[in-house]
Chains A and B, each alone.
Chain A
Amino acid sequence: MGDLLIEVRDLAFRYPGGAQALRGVNFRLHRSETVAVLGANGSGKTTFLNHLVGLLSGEGSVRVCGLPVIAANLGRIRQRVGMLFQDADDQIFMPTVEDDVAFGPLNLGLPAEVVRERVEWSLEQVGLNGQRRLPPHNLSAGERRRAALAGVLATNPEILLLDEPATFLDPPAKRALVRTLGSLPQSKVLVTHEVDFAAALADRAVFFEDGAIVAEGAVSELADRFKWR
Chain B
Amino acid sequence: MRSVDAGLAAPRSPLAAAHPTVKLCAALATVVLISTFPPAPSWRQGVTVAILLAVWGLARVSPGYVLRRVAAAAPFIALAACLPLVSGLPGAGALAGAVVFKATSAIVLLSILAATTPVEDILQSLCRLGVPRAFALTAVLMNRYLFVLLDEWRGISRARDCRTGGQLASGRCRMWANQAAMVFVRGWDRSARVAQALLTRGFRGEFPRLQRPDLGVAEAALAVALPLAVLLLRVV
Chain A residues close to B by CB (< 8 Å):
50, 53, 55, 75, 78-79, 81-83, 85, 87, 89-96, 98-99, 102-104, 106-108, 112, 115-116, 119, 133-138, 140, 151-152, 155
Top 6 nearest A-B pairs (CB, nearest first) are A95-B120, A107-B202, A106-B208, A91-B197, A137-B147, A90-B193
CA distance A119 to B208 in the complex (A): 14
- Known contacts: A93-B141, A137-B151. The answer to whether A85 contacts B210 by CB under 8 A is no
Contacts A90-B196, A107-B206 supplied; 9 other A-B pairs, CB < 8 Å: A78-B199, A78-B200, A82-B200, A85-B196, A90-B190, A93-B144, A93-B145, A93-B197, A102-B209
Of B118, B143, B148, B204, which one neighbours A107 at CB under 8 angstroms?
B204
* B199 pairs with A55, CB closer than 8 A: yes
Q: Which residues of B contact A107 (CB under 8 A)?
A: 201-204, 206, 208
Offer 8 A-B interface pairs, CB within 8 angstroms, sorted by A: A79-B202, A90-B190, A91-B197, A94-B207, A95-B120, A107-B202, A112-B210, A135-B120
Residue of A nearest to B121 (CB): A95
Q: Which residues of B contact A94 (CB under 8 A)?
A: 140, 144, 207, 209
* B210 pairs with A106, CB closer than 8 A: yes
CA distance A81 to B208 in the complex (A): 21
Q: Does B163 contact A (CB under 8 A)?
A: no
Q: Which residues of B contact A95 (CB under 8 A)?
A: 118-120, 123, 140, 143-144
Q: Which residues of B contact A50 (CB under 8 A)?
A: 196
Q: Does B236 contact A (CB under 8 A)?
A: no
- A-B interface pairs (CB < 8 A), number: 99
Q: Which residues of A contact B201 (CB under 8 A)?
A: 78, 91, 103-104, 107, 151-152, 155
CA distance A55 to B195 in the complex (A): 10
Residue of A nearest to B150 (CB): A137
- Known contacts: A133-B4, A134-B4. The answer to whether A55 contacts B196 by CB under 8 A is yes
* B4 pairs with A93, CB closer than 8 A: no
Q: Does B1 contact A (CB under 8 A)?
A: yes
A223 to chain B, nearest CB (A): 29
Q: Which residues of A contact B140 (CB under 8 A)?
A: 93-95
Q: Which residues of B contact A96 (CB under 8 A)?
A: 120
Q: Which residues of A contact B1 (CB under 8 A)?
A: 138, 140
Q: Which residues of A contact B194 (CB under 8 A)?
A: 90-91, 93
A193 to chain B, nearest CB (A): 19
Q: Does B87 contact A (CB under 8 A)?
A: no
CA distance A152 to B147 in the complex (A): 22
CA distance A152 to B206 in the complex (A): 18
Q: Does B172 contact A (CB under 8 A)?
A: no
CA distance A104 to B203 in the complex (A): 8
Residues of chain B from 152 to 208 with CB closer than 8 A to chain A in the complex? 190, 193-194, 196-204, 206-208
A100 to chain B, nearest CB (A): 9
B163 to chain A, nearest CB (A): 22
Residue of A nearest to B6 (CB): A138
Q: Which residues of A contact B36 (CB under 8 A)?
A: none
Q: Does B7 contact A (CB under 8 A)?
A: yes
